[in-house]
Amino acid sequence: MPVFISTLDDGFDAAFNALLSAKREEAADVDAAVAAIIEDVRTRGDAALIELTERFDRLRLTPETLAFTPEEIDAQCARVGAQERAALELAAERIRAYHERQMPGDERWRDATGAELGWRWTAVGAAGLYVPGGLASYPSSVLMNAIPAKVAGVERLVVACPTPGGAVNPLVLLAARLSGVDVVYRIGGAQAIAALAYGTQTISAVDKITGPGNAYVAAAKRRVFGRVGIDMIAGPSEILVIADRENDPDWIALDLLAQAEHDESAQSILITDDADFGRSVMRAVDARLDTLERRAIASASWRDHGAVIVVRDMDEAVALSDRIAPEHLELCVADPDALAARIRHAGAIFLGRWTPEAIGDYVGGPNHVLPTARSARFSSGLSVMDFLKRTTIARMTPGALAAIGPAAECLAGSESLQAHGLSVRARLDHLNDEGTA
Amino acid sequence: MPVFISTLDDGFDAAFNALLSAKREEAADVDAAVAAIIEDVRTRGDAALIELTERFDRLRLTPETLAFTPEEIDAQCARVGAQERAALELAAERIRAYHERQMPGDERWRDATGAELGWRWTAVGAAGLYVPGGLASYPSSVLMNAIPAKVAGVERLVVACPTPGGAVNPLVLLAARLSGVDVVYRIGGAQAIAALAYGTQTISAVDKITGPGNAYVAAAKRRVFGRVGIDMIAGPSEILVIADRENDPDWIALDLLAQAEHDESAQSILITDDADFGRSVMRAVDARLDTLERRAIASASWRDHGAVIVVRDMDEAVALSDRIAPEHLELCVADPDALAARIRHAGAIFLGRWTPEAIGDYVGGPNHVLPTARSARFSSGLSVMDFLKRTTIARMTPGALAAIGPAAECLAGSESLQAHGLSVRARLDHLNDEGTA
């Protein structure tokens, strides 16, 4: 049974803390296996990659067939129906338009001492995007990872996507093509991450790896972090819906179930200021659950992690929401902007009754790769910034150095870093000599 | 002996690759010890923290003396001399002015469908800054970490700084005060990181932990990552100086030695298009080395990791620089802007002969916490962005949902996420019913 609690209950704090701290996913201990796989690919390159792909994906590759040929991609893309193609194109266009606005600007200015300061942004040279095979092979994730990289200006963007037993998802290939991906490799698991991080005879190493994956992929990303950049390690997905009684319980139930159907570890929480409305939503969830193809998954998620929380007023809702720091936050209330203005921690906010979270998964425009497990307290969703880095710029003039150099020399002395001070002093002495010459 | 190689040499590629891949630091294997310390603090809180501080720092604390009192900080600050205080104030003011320009703006717009989209930035609620004790206790690092946090709007900013045997660095406390730090705790090591991440009876947990530390601190930060945000795990510091023959060899030598004196794992590299100039710099380094207080450290760094690389022309210098992706890059040439424009990967660039890197360590304005070990290929130095997170915003109208909802429904179907599609469909059906009513 999902939790049904009210802030009026005596045991509310304990129940809410239990909900917050419940572990929804046990990390499988695959670290030793992953370390061995990475070392193998690092040492033996293509040969190891091909052997591991045969073992794990039951697929025999050669260095020549590691990547799809453009003709193979053409053929797969041609299999996609017109409606799906149009939907994918609309999504790509809207995601691109949103992310183009994220491009930060360079800055350069001169301060009162005459020193020139600033920074500039450059793109990561090469990025690798991991796309799971099988059930969780989502074309929408390809768009959400690849388009920000391309908008940022990444020159070489490759995809690694396993094709277990040779099974290919044509929509994934079409999404890769629409996003401007350069090469798609038929590899997966920790061996794919190793190949992207260290390179093989056939595959060039990249600088940054993003994209979701199973426990092996996650462990491999953690291990290669530092050698390359990685995005976040995502936990199970979650939604918090804050809704007043004016909503259709069925709409809210479907929004909760859209999260629950992802996997058994997903979490859906409703906060409402009306207990009767809360109960109506619970009934609506039950009614819809039976009709879903993924009812086994959605039922388990709702039963084990679902919650309806009744609050006295929306002030309480705001406070609880910030403690949850949800990945997705729907505000189904009359004035969602007023409520949103008071929320501090959320990955993405969906405003009003007409904005089901599923819009954000596909065609809204904002990224659907978002911080989970309360990490919205300190981190953000994927963006073009993940594929850019900033170089700071400083240029002293003799006058600027004369103005601020002595302070640097003084502080270097305090830190017992004598050569630091001398590197400033040598230049200042030269200025003084010139001045007195 | 430092490496002296030329791109004209037969073995250049091998020698350069060896330089790039040389491991300068062995990570101590402290992970098991750190895991035990974290678990102890997590379980027993203050009691564990106090015991561990007595063991490692030879200092007996109580819950009441974990933090410095304002009066204790006053007394320590009063010990700082006028010149050092003025230098620290100038540094703080310049760092603040630079970082204030980094504050990103919120965005909100309406697209052609009527959908409202955008994002907004909010500050991390609470941040903890680690400051090492002993030799590497740098007041400049306090400014560089704390000021961006305060500029970002972090409400609660605390410092953890061990005081081994009770030894206090008054400049660290003054830097904390000038930066707006709220509380300074007399704790260090993995136990301090655990206390900041999980909280104790006396210390409230923070959301983000930044700042340098030894192997124990680094391992602890890796372990608590996910529970809280962390900054990068910094490796040994490094500089690349690109200089033509028009420089004073002594100035360049001092710039190289300012890096080398940090620690034996630091690395200083000179690239020049004039072999004779390169040899002059090597002689100047040797001459200066004997005069340095830290000559043992600087000599070891220069001997084991130093390098002078002679190139045919500055085109080669640019290409090699991007392969090094240096933390600090000095361009001591006639037209440093032209050269900088062609560089893609560097943490910070120092333009021209009058900008020794040491200026950037203290008073330049840009942050001195920068990506090491070639990670400038994919990451940036510390900034206000590290203390902010972005929440994306989407608001559909009925018209916007009618325009783009069907595409979302279609893609949800492709991904076998039925409830996703239904959450959109229920709303679309309602619109259709209204339209036909």
Domains of chain B, residue spans: 31-106+125-230, 235-378, 396-436
Q: Do B257 and A423 touch (CB under 8 A)?
A: yes
Beta strands in B322-419 (DSSP E): 328-332, 348-351, 388-395
Cβ atoms of residues A405 and A114 within 8 Å? no
If one counts every other C-beta atom within 10 angstroms of the C-beta of residue A241, the result is 27
Min Cα–Cα distance to chain B from A63, Å: 25
The stretch A350-371 carries a mean pLDDT of 97
Query: What span, in angstroms and rounded, lies between the C-alpha atoms of B412 and A359?
Result: 10
Kindly list the residues from chain A whose CB atom is less than 8 angstroms away from the CB atom of residue B353: 427
Per-residue model confidence as pLDDT tens digits over B157-169: 999 999 999 999 9
* Tokens 């929004």, located at residue: A255
Per-residue model confidence as pLDDT tens digits over A143-153: 999 999 999 99
Read off the amino acid at residue A233: I
Query: What span, in angstroms and rounded, lies between the C-alpha atoms of A148 and A417?
Result: 42
* pLDDT band at A360; cut points 50, 70, 90: very high
DSSP state of B180: T
Q: Do A380 and B360 touch (CB under 8 A)?
A: no
Read off the amino acid at residue B349: I
Q: Do B258 and A419 touch (CB under 8 A)?
A: yes
Per-residue model confidence as pLDDT tens digits over B132-154: 987 678 999 999 999 999 999 99
Query: What span, in angstroms and rounded, lies between the C-alpha atoms of A138 and A169?
Result: 9
Cβ atoms of residues A350 and A359 within 8 Å? yes
What percent of chain B has a predicted confidence (pLDDT) above 70?
99
Among the partner-chain residues A344, A365, A415, the one whose CB lies closest to the CB of B138 is A415
pLDDT of residue A436: 65
Give the CATH number of domain A31-106+123-230: 3.40.50.1980
Min Cα–Cα distance to chain A from B79, Å: 13
Site from B257, B378, B425 to mutate, A interface, most A CB atoms within 10 angstroms: B378
Class of domain B235-378: alpha beta
Integer-rounded Cα radius of gyration of chain A: 26
Degrees to nearest 5, angle at CA B308 with B307 and B310: 145
Min Cα–Cα distance to chain B from A272, Å: 19
Residue B398 has pLDDT above 70, yes or no: yes
Q: Do A378 and B298 touch (CB under 8 A)?
A: no
Residue A157 class from Cβ within 10 Å (0-12 exposed, 13-18 middle, 19+ buried)?
Answer: buried
Calculate the CA A404 to chain-centre distance: 42
Backbone φ and ψ of B324, nearest 5°: -75, -35
* Annotated binding residue A99: no
Per-residue model confidence as pLDDT tens digits over A70-96: 999 999 999 999 999 999 999 999 999
Kindly list the residues from chain A whose CB atom is less than 8 angstroms away from the CB atom of residue B208: 378
Query: What span, in angstroms and rounded, lies between the C-alpha atoms of B339 and B337?
Result: 5
Q: Which CATH architecture has domain A3-25+236-364?
A: 3-Layer(aba) Sandwich (3.40)
Residue A420 has pLDDT above 70, yes or no: yes
Backbone φ and ψ of A116, nearest 5°: -100, 130
The ipTM assigned to this model is 0.96
pLDDT of residue B178: 98
Give the chain B residue nearest A420 (alpha carbons).
Answer: B258
Cβ atoms of residues B152 and B129 within 8 Å? no
If one counts every other C-beta atom within 10 angstroms of the C-beta of residue B82, the result is 7
* pLDDT band at A352; cut points 50, 70, 90: very high
Kindly list the residues from chain A whose CB atom is less than 8 angstroms away from the CB atom of residue B359: 394, 396, 401, 404-405, 408, 424
- Fold match between domain A3-25+236-364 and domain A31-106+123-230: yes
* pLDDT band at B408; cut points 50, 70, 90: very high
Query: What span, in angstroms and rounded, lies between the C-alpha atoms of B164 and B186?
Result: 9
Cβ atoms of residues A195 and A187 within 8 Å? yes
Q: Which two tokens stand for residue B409?
A: 């429904």
Per-residue model confidence as pLDDT tens digits over B285-310: 999 999 999 999 999 999 999 999 99
Read off the amino acid at residue A84: E
Instruction: Indicate the fold that domain B31-106+125-230 takes in CATH.
Output: Rossmann fold (3.40.50)
Among the partner-chain residues A260, A392, A412, the one whose CB lies closest to the CB of B358 is A412
Does B54 qualify as catalytic in the annotation? no
DSSP state of B137: -
Q: A163-172, A380-389, A418-427, B24-33: lowest mean pLDDT where?
A: B24-33
Residue B21 has pLDDT above 90, yes or no: no
Residue B172 has pLDDT above 90, yes or no: yes
